[in-house]
Amino acid sequence: MQKLFNAPLYAQIREEIFAALRSGRWSANDPLPSETKLASEFSVSQGTIRKAIDDLVAQNILYRHQGRGTFIRRHDEQQSLFRFFNLSRTDGTKPVPESLNIHCKTRKGLKHECLALQVPTGDRLIEVLRLRRLDGQPVILETILVSQQRFPELNKRDLPNTLYELYSDDYNVHITRAEEQIQATLPDATVISHLNLEPTIPLLEIRRIAFDLHDQPVELRISQCVTGSFVYTCSLN
Amino acid sequence: MQKLFNAPLYAQIREEIFAALRSGRWSANDPLPSETKLASEFSVSQGTIRKAIDDLVAQNILYRHQGRGTFIRRHDEQQSLFRFFNLSRTDGTKPVPESLNIHCKTRKGLKHECLALQVPTGDRLIEVLRLRRLDGQPVILETILVSQQRFPELNKRDLPNTLYELYSDDYNVHITRAEEQIQATLPDATVISHLNLEPTIPLLEIRRIAFDLHDQPVELRISQCVTGSFVYTCSLN
DNA sequence: TCATATAATTCATATATAAGACTTAGATGA
DNA sequence: TCATCTAAGTCTTATATATGAATTATATGA
């Protein structure tokens, strides 16, 4: 393989592999071709393939298992419950969140919602409202918004606790990263009734936008959280 | 270099380099010995040294500059203001935080404070109270707590905007990472007066513990933030 | 059924070469 | 004489490849 432009070889290969990944060339269940196979396909050495894959592993898009192969990172039940869930007990341990769906309907998106999802203003969205319990206590009221066009019939399905697994399995939409914005708010009437709160209790409002393999915003999720026994945790490096 | 136990060579080298780093063997201003020099010192190949350093770079403990060398990551004015600062404008851009010191005194630590800092209960702490402005508005009231024993005379100094730089330059304490816990609260009298608030405005309370090279907790910092024009942001991968 | 061999994978290490960045000697000119 | 530019040399990290080891799953046979 010749070196083009000024980008190092491994970076070019990384982009080619990533592009192949996005195009759905390999199933999310089977391993990728082995490093040696990819090496001969791209006509570079195994070490170069390895370095390319290193980057994708660092981005959490792939993971490796010595002796078995390299796989696409999926949101499966076990890890998905924790990977994108930053609420923990005050001692740092993480509770297992449970979900209770309250409703699931379609409606026209508001301006700021459509902007966040990068769909035309006024497009129809699917709204899921659900209550989440931690250690048995109702702690979070969660509003989930996705494009109806992108997730047809989602509102007619049985929604599992881990939605990202459903997106991946049934819609071929793979969530790779998310951005969260956090504010302090006071609860509105809906939150007060579902979480059974005093109106003066301050809440954490988490606004999350989740992105897919193409780095397109796919889901807007607004969570209202009571933070008595639980705290939002974040590591800085 | 012989391989001991089952740990790969590069991992052993990484730990040795890290230990040397902690012991203060190299100045924080000069580059480390070159990869080839380290290679001959440890009797391994340059590639193995490189892989060891890769890990330390990934941990943000070192950084590299092609052609110049490998350096210890310091908290200098430019980056330090942003690196450990997660508040941004709602559009995602980051304001430059300013600081106004309100007081700096010593007192006996409370139980939870000493626990967080891993010092004996009742040890004397230095408390810095300061107001931080973003875009000219008073937004954060910050209480900073460190061990007096660890930072002698800190209360008699002129405190800069970026404390971590001071810790590093004057006390040889290098902050490498931090953990933040976030809750929603209502302001107490002190906060109300300094931030000029209505008592019913909910606040973000950020409790940060900062760790040094030895992974010892060094500083406890509790920030009370108004989140009207600003939000706490966090990326999930 | 269990141990063992075998074939597949990724992982670890060493070597060689490329590319970037400072240093310094020397030329140039005012 | 002094300041300034230039280019070569030598330092640095970055990239690419080759070889063998470690790990895992599977097939094989007693």
Residue B55 pLDDT > 60: yes
Asked if B213 and B122 sit in the same domain, the reply is yes
Asked if B30 and B142 sit in the same domain, the reply is no
How far is the alpha carbon of A81 from chain B, nearest alpha carbon, in Å?
A: 13
Of the three residues A52, A72, A92, the one that is the final residue of a domain is: A72
Average pLDDT along chain B: 92
Residue A75's pLDDT is what?
87
Q: Which residues of B, range 10-29, sit inside 8 Å of A by Cβ? A: none
Instruction: Output the distance from B41 CA to C19 C1' rounded to whole Å.
Output: 25
Closest CA in chain A for residue B179? A235
Give the mean model confidence (pLDDT) for residues B165-183.
94
Q: Is B96 helix (H, G, I), strand (E, B) or coil?
A: coil
Closest CA in chain A for residue B176? A237
Which nucleotide is closest to A57, CA to C1'? C10
DSSP sequence for A120-166: -TT-EEEEEEEEEEETTEEEEEEEEEEETTTSTTGGGS---S-HHHH
Which nucleotide is closest to B50, CA to C1'? D13
Model pLDDT for residues B62-100, shown as the tens digit of each residue:
999 888 889 998 888 777 788 999 999 999 999 999 999
Model pLDDT for residues B187-215, shown as the tens digit of each residue:
999 999 999 999 999 999 999 999 999 99
Residue A6's pLDDT is what?
61
Asked if A113 and A66 sit in the same domain, the reply is no
Of the three residues B72, B95, B112, the one that is the final residue of a domain is: B72
Is A22 near strand D, with its CB below 7 A from some atom of it? no
Total H helices, total E strands in chain A = 7, 10
Instruction: Output the distance from B90 CA to C15 C1' rounded to whole Å.
Output: 52
Residue B65's pLDDT is what?
87
Mean pLDDT lowest for which of A23-27, B25-29, B109-113, B191-195?
A: B25-29
| % of residues, chain B, pLDDT over 90 | 73
Find where tokens 């881990």 sit. Answer: A162
Asked if B81 and B196 sit in the same domain, the reply is yes
Asked if the structure places residue B83 within a domain, the reply is yes
Among candidates A60, A182, A200 on the partner chain, residue whose Cβ is nearest the Cβ of B182: A182
Please indicate if any CB of chain A lies within 8 Å of the CB of B178: yes
Asked if A120 and A214 sit in the same domain, the reply is yes
Residue B3's pLDDT is what?
36
Of the three residues A20, A44, A72, the one that is the final residue of a domain is: A72
Asked if the structure places residue B4 within a domain, the reply is no
Residue A134's pLDDT is what?
96
Asked if B139 and B177 sit in the same domain, the reply is yes
Asked if A205 and A106 sit in the same domain, the reply is yes
Domain span holding position A64: 9-72
Report the CATH number that the domain containing residue B62 is assigned in CATH: 1.10.10.10
Give the containing element (helix H, strand E) for B35. helix B35-42
Residue B2's pLDDT is what?
34
DSSP sequence for A175-186: EEEEEEEEEEE-
Asked if A103 and A215 sit in the same domain, the reply is yes
Asked if the structure places residue B237 within a domain, the reply is no
Residue B1's pLDDT is what?
36
Asked if B218 and B113 sit in the same domain, the reply is yes
Asked if the structure places residue B115 within a domain, the reply is yes
Query: What are the start-end ranges of the H helices in B44-99?
Result: 46-58, 77-83
Asked if B87 and B192 sit in the same domain, the reply is yes
Asked if the structure places residue B1 within a domain, the reply is no
Residue B120's pLDDT is what?
97
Asked if the structure places residue A50 within a domain, the reply is yes
Could you read off the pLDDT tens digit of each residue along chain A, which spans 237 residues? 333 346 788 999 999 999 999 998 998 888 899 999 999 989 898 989 999 999 999 999 999 999 899 999 988 877 788 899 999 999 999 999 999 999 999 999 999 999 999 999 999 999 999 999 999 999 999 999 999 999 999 989 999 999 999 999 899 999 999 999 999 999 999 999 999 999 999 999 999 999 999 999 999 999 999 998 999 999 998
Report the CATH number that the domain containing residue B208 is assigned in CATH: 3.40.1410.10
Number of domains in chain B: 2
- What are the angstrom distances between the C-alpha of B210 and each of A68, A143, B79, B82, B181? 39, 34, 16, 15, 12
- Cβ pairs bridging A and B (under 8 Å): 99
Asked if B178 and B205 sit in the same domain, the reply is yes
Asked if A92 and A22 sit in the same domain, the reply is no
Please indicate if any CB of chain A lies within 8 Å of the CB of B180: yes
Rounded Cα gap, residues B113 and B207, in angstroms = 11
Among candidates A90, A202, A207 on the partner chain, residue whose Cβ is nearest the Cβ of B184: A202
Residues of B in contact with A186 (CB under 8 A): 200, 202
Residue A79's pLDDT is what?
79
- Strand C: positions under 7 A of a protein C-beta atom: 8-17, 19-22
Residue B6's pLDDT is what?
65
